[in-house]
Structure 1
Amino acid sequence: MNQNWRGAVVRHLLLLVVCCALLGLISGEYAWALVLGLGAYLAWHVKQLLRLHHWLRHRQPDEAPPEGYGLWGEVFDNIYHLQRRDQRVRGRLQAVIDRVQESTSALRDAVIMLDSDGNLEWWNRAAETLLGLKTPQDSGQSISNLLRHPRFKEYFEQGNFQEALELPSPINDRLRLQLQITQYGNREHLMLVRDVTRLYQLEQMRKDFVANVSHELRTPLTVIAGYLETLLDNVEEVNPRWLRALQQMQQQGARMQNLLNDLLLLAKLEATDYPSDNQPIAVDLLLLSIKNDAQALSAAKHHRISLEADAHLKLKGSEAELRSALSNLVFNAVKYTPAEGEIRIRWWGDEQGGHFSVADNGPGIEAKHLPRLTERFYRVDSSRASNTGGTGIGLAIVKHVLLRHRARLDIASVPGKGSTFTCHFPAQQVIRRS
């Protein structure tokens, strides 16, 4: 209440007292006149309060407050103005919401809003087309009850949404969907679903092409390599001048065979999600064998290779695939670390799972190259890779082996000081033996 209205109330009370005094002067009962006047004034205020209470309890949407005069008229007018202002604000907000819903409904990508527990709150029409959601039956249902794929359940429960997830559509196996979840607000979830069937088909065509070409090239390469070996064994009978040419041909043929073998292995790894031979593996013994091979590969470089492995920690997976991935990291360290360099191999565990790392004090890698190291045929220094006999897809194989074992690869490197490659395996892949 402002200063003017406080003055008005005081004047009204003074007027009431004067009227009561006049009534008392006429009747000769000053006290009863004052009581009656104040009682009537109080009854009027109680009546206005009851009117306000009745309006608040029984009012219809957007119904105006009751009419009044004096102080209560000002109160009702202020309520009316607040009501009108709120209506305008709600109208603007509703217009924004309607525009957002109209725009999201027009999207070809599905937009789904989930609460903190993963229950459905809202979705657009594309979600009904791609995921088969039904309005309003599925409202409030858990998303895990509608998307029953094991990989989605694991993806949602882990809460790590940095990478998108690709799955077949629950209503059409020929559709391939990409799911991306973002957390917002009070741990609520916004899920975007895209139809990437075309991209998936193109990727499958690329994989099939590489696999088929690699397979078809193996036979002619085997024949060429066989004849080159025969010629080298009898080079003196042919012509000694051909010795260097034949040796170089054999060397490049071996490089091509290694490349084809790596491409076929990569195609095999991409064909399935998880390894079929998921058995407990003694990682310490596997790393001891890899260390011996690395020591033999080091030869004249005389690297100092150390191994620290927890003998009580096993890993579930494919031994052949893990040997390929872990040895690739160790052999890369041997190839790129200068003579007399140091290479440290570690295998340990903690609450998060199992961890394998290879650290060296080699030339290191610039930060701009790190995000692309696991791409096929990507090389930091093509000339160096050629000299060391690399195919350019070794780290791509490592990446896919780790993905099949639910693991991830971290790379840290400082130019001039060395590099550290670390593989992190989740706790469900690790077995601790007594």
Structure 2
Amino acid sequence: MLSGFLRLIPILMLASIAGLIGESFLGDELGWLIALLIVVISLFIAYVNQSRLDVFVRGAGISHLFGFGSSWSEIFFRLQRIITGLRKDIEHVERQYKRFIEAFQASPNGIVMLDDQDQIEWCNAIAEQFLSIQFKRDVLQRIHYIVRRPEFVQYITGRKYDEPVVLEKMGANSSRILLLQAFPFSENRRLVLIQDITDLSKAEAMRRDFVANVSHEMRTPLTVM
């Protein structure tokens, strides 16, 4: 209330000066009529500028930021420059975020981001396939409510991530063997990386079978001898 009154003081002083000058040259009635007109015009300009500022604050955009008078024009100009700079910064961050998401989606490995409550914040499409989850449905759900394998639940809730954990019979057909490891980062969040080691495990099993068969074949002649 006081600040509004203080803003009126220059207007009233200008009107008084104009009234006195007008009274000297134009007579009492016309001089003070001009003074009253100055007050009305000044209040109207202030009202219009205040209304435009209110429209901007409610989110109508910077196209409404223009005003009458040097002081209001300077205020609007500075606001417009600040807003334009902020919008450019936001657009830059959004482009970087989009590139990161595209890179994560292109990864052959599953990626899941968990918050400090083990809730799913984000995952890529490969992780959805590996863990049989749906991001839109399961976002902000605790991951061990969805993936209920005891070894996985113990791994996630135990907060000991020095070594990875292997989950067998995973995926839609229970045919995948997955290697998972969690990496803590900002504010107790975790980044869970998931690798499909099905083919590698099969190759390792074939190697072990081959070595076992060769060893058996080598031992048989020696036994006979």
Q: Smaller-chain TM-score range?
A: 0.7 to 0.9
How far does the alpha carbon of each residue in 1:127-176 deviate from its partner, in whole angstroms, 9 at most, with x for none?
Answer: 12222222411222211122111001000111111111111224332211
2:186 corresponds to which letter in structure 1? G
Task: Confirm or deny that 1:78 pairs with 2:104.
Answer: no
Residues 96-115 of structure 1 aligned to structure 2 (within 5 Å): 96-115=96-115
* Deviation, structure 1 residue 90: 1.5
The 3 A distance-change label for structure 1 pair 24 and 123 is farther
Aligned counterpart, 2:88: 88
Distance 1:114 1:20 in 2: 72
Residues 30-429 of structure 1 aligned to structure 2 (within 5 Å): 41=42, 44-59=45-60, 63-70=62-69, 71-168=71-168, 169-209=170-210
2:28 corresponds to which letter in structure 1? S
Distance 2:42 2:21 in 1: 16
**Greater mean deviation of Cα atoms: 126-135 or 150-159:** 126-135
1:129 corresponds to which letter in structure 2? Q
User: Does the 8 A contact of 1:115 with 1:189 survive in 2?
Assistant: yes
User: Does the 8 A contact of 1:20 with 1:37 survive in 2?
Assistant: no
* Deviation, structure 1 residue 20: 4.1
Distance 2:19 2:202 in 1: 95
The percent identity for this pair of structures is 27
Distance 1:174 1:40 in 2: 80
The 3 A distance-change label for structure 1 pair 21 and 205 is farther
* Deviation, structure 1 residue 27: 2.5
Number of equivalenced pairs = 213
User: Does the 8 A contact of 1:111 with 1:193 survive in 2?
Assistant: yes
Task: Confirm or deny that 1:27 pairs with 2:48.
Answer: no
Q: 1:133 aligns to what SS in structure 2?
A: coil
The 3 A distance-change label for structure 1 pair 172 and 93 is same
User: Does the 8 A contact of 1:114 with 1:189 survive in 2?
Assistant: yes
Distance 2:211 2:151 in 1: 27
How far does the alpha carbon of each residue in 1:226-269 deviate from its partner, in whole angstroms, 9 at most, with x for none?
Answer: xxxxxxxxxxxxxxxxxxxxxxxxxxxxxxxxxxxxxxxxxxxx
2:149 corresponds to which letter in structure 1? H
Larger-gyration structure (1/2): 1
Distance 2:12 2:73 in 1: 17
Q: Structure 1 unaligned runs (5+)? A: 1-9, 225-434
The 3 A distance-change label for structure 1 pair 16 and 197 is farther
Task: Confirm or deny that 1:18 pairs with 2:17.
Answer: yes
1:69 corresponds to which letter in structure 2? F
Distance 1:92 1:38 in 2: 47
User: Does the 8 A contact of 2:49 with 2:68 survive in 1?
Assistant: no
Q: Structure 2 unaligned runs (5+)? A: 1-8
How far does the alpha carbon of each residue in 1:338-357 deviate from its partner, in whole angstroms, 9 at most, with x for none?
Answer: xxxxxxxxxxxxxxxxxxxx
Q: Which has the higher helix share?
A: 2
The 3 A distance-change label for structure 1 pair 220 and 153 is farther
User: Does the 8 A contact of 2:111 with 2:123 survive in 1?
Assistant: yes
Distance 1:171 1:215 in 2: 38
The 3 A distance-change label for structure 1 pair 129 and 63 is farther
How far does the alpha carbon of each residue in 1:25-61 deviate from its partner, in whole angstroms, 9 at most, with x for none?
Answer: 5428x999989866864564354223312321152xx
How far does the alpha carbon of each residue in 1:44-87 deviate from its partner, in whole angstroms, 9 at most, with x for none?
Answer: 4354223312321152xx55333213211221122211221122
1:19 corresponds to which letter in structure 2? A
* Deviation, structure 1 residue 14: 7.0
**Greater mean deviation of Cα atoms: 101-110 or 200-209:** 200-209
Q: Report which structure shows greater RCO (CA 8 Å, sep ≥6).
A: 2
Aligned counterpart, 2:4: none
The 3 A distance-change label for structure 1 pair 132 and 32 is same
Q: 2:205 aligns to what SS in structure 1?
A: helix
TM-score (norm 1): 0.42
How far does the alpha carbon of each residue in 1:197-221 deviate from its partner, in whole angstroms, 9 at most, with x for none?
Answer: 1222233334445666677888888
